[in-house]
Amino acid sequence: MCGDGRIRGLLQFYGANRTGRWAGRLVQVQNLPRNYIGTLDTARELVKKRQTEAVKLIYGNVPDILSQLIRTAFIPRNGNKFLVADFSAIEARVLSWLAGEQWRLDVFRTHGKIYEASASAMFGVDISLIKKGNPEYELRGKGKIAELALGYQGGKGSLISMGALRMGLKEEELPDIVKRWRGSNQRIVDFWYAVERYALETVLYGIPNSMPCGISFERDEDYMIIRLPSGRSLYYYKPEVRLNDLGRDAVHFQGVDQKTKKWGYISTYGGKLTENIVQAVARDLLATAMMNLYQAGYCINFHIHDEVILEVPKTSEKNLEEAIALMCRLPGWASGLPLDADGFESDYYRKD
């Protein structure tokens, strides 16, 4: 913390070199523990007064409460408040828009209940039946886990990593969930394979390829280049086509492995490249939103992936509704993308 009580240097521009996203530094605001308790005000006051026994009596687990309160240590200056706003299901919306998955776009342009809609499409059940109190409501959980795990060519392992077994699903039913999700999202599946095919052709033969959504592929002596609808590009250094662990031709490139943190050749595939593209497009939408907010006079205190934390005087006319409208103002290159956002006001940073 600096001498004026502010903390700076929390985000590094273009710190994530695969997508161009900002990267968290110092206290890692992008990876703070979530808060779940509904009595944050009480917990904060008890902790500030060092009432350990009271915290233990009310909440039971003192370390867990301290962990949940880390977010709330970030506060605006005196006389100000936070407006916290984030894009709603941004990656699912961008993926649907790029792939042209029309039924999903219709959902996002209307009620927005993608978990229920996904379950409806997967299991052939009318979406009106998937509501609390009906036996069909249990299908929502399957739709949700499928949405969270399968958008980037994930399979059974991705479902398990996302907590499918912890939520009560049985391992033997996971392959069926994968099959059903892919069957109801054929355009997204086609998008994965088109991205992989174009990447392979570009690396092998130097053939430039373009997709209807505004994505294009090309290469030069050192890089495979993926151009995004915004005009920005992603770069993959020293690309080669080699056999992957499954014995199939795959694009490999040099970089730092995210698991081992060592430099070397990294294998990629259509789903992983799709993830890079979608997250990069989401990043460009956030950058546009930040410029819109800045030009309208909003002070951006910090931001996290698809969320902005604005510091606004309590007496200001600037408000959450206007901020959300500015965030959702589409750039020209994103025509037709069903963007939406939501948010809240607070005297400290938290998850709603």
Q: Average pLDDT, stretch 280-302?
A: 96
Q: Average pLDDT, stretch 52-80?
A: 93
Q: Average pLDDT, stretch 71-87?
A: 95
Residues of the chain with pLDDT > 70, as a percent, come to 100
Q: What is the pLDDT of residue 222?
A: 96
In 3D, which of 204, 279, 190, 198 has the Cα closest to residue 234?
Answer: 279
Q: Average pLDDT, stretch 261-281?
A: 95
- Given phi > 0 = left and psi -120 to 50 = alpha, else beta, which region is 125? beta
Q: Which residues pair with 255 in a beta bridge?
A: 264
Q: Is it the case that residue 339 has pLDDT exceeding 90?
A: yes
Rounded to a whole number of angstroms, the distance between the first and last alpha carbons of the chain is 26
Mean pLDDT of the chain: 94
Q: What is the pLDDT of residue 287?
A: 97
13 CB contacts (<8 Å, ≥6 apart)?
A: 22
- Interval 91-134: pLDDT, tens: 999 999 999 999 999 999 999 999 999 999 999 999 999 999 99
Q: Are 310 and 76 in contact (CB under 8 A)?
A: no
Q: What is the pLDDT of residue 257?
A: 85
Strands of 341-346's sheet in order across? 299-304, 307-313, 80-87, 341-346
pTM exceeding 0.85: yes
Q: Is it the case that residue 166 has pLDDT exceeding 90?
A: no
Q: Are 10 and 24 in contact (CB under 8 A)?
A: yes
Q: What is the pLDDT of residue 169?
A: 85
Q: Is it the case that residue 168 has pLDDT exceeding 90?
A: no
Q: Which residues of 278-311 are buried (b: 16+ CB within 10 A; e: fewer)?
A: bbbbbbbbbbbbbebbeeeebbebbbbbbbbbbb
Q: How confident is the model at residue 167 (pLDDT cuts 50, 70, 90)?
A: confident
Q: Is it the case that residue 308 has pLDDT exceeding 90?
A: yes
Q: What is the pLDDT of residue 270?
A: 96
Identify the top-confidence range among 165-169, 248-252, 260-264.
248-252
Residues of the chain with pLDDT > 90, as a percent, come to 87
What is the Cβ-side half-sphere exposure of residue 54, based on CA atoms within 13 angstroms? Answer: 10
Q: What is the pLDDT of residue 302?
A: 93
Q: Which residue has the higher pLDDT, 187 or 165?
A: 187
**Beta-sheet strands, E only, within the chain:** 11-12, 23-24, 80-87, 209-210, 216-219, 223-227, 233-243, 249-256, 263-267, 299-304, 307-313, 341-346
Distance of CA 94 to the CA centre of its chain: 10
Q: How confident is the model at residue 260 (pLDDT cuts 50, 70, 90)?
A: confident
Q: Average pLDDT, stretch 72-94?
A: 95
- Interval 202-251: pLDDT, tens: 999 998 999 999 999 999 999 999 999 999 999 999 999 999 998 999 99
Q: How confident is the model at residue 311 (pLDDT cuts 50, 70, 90)?
A: very high
56 CB contacts (<8 Å, ≥6 apart)?
A: 62
Q: How confident is the model at residue 352 (pLDDT cuts 50, 70, 90)?
A: confident
Q: Which residues of 103-112 are buried (b: 16+ CB within 10 A; e: fewer)?
A: ebbebbeeee
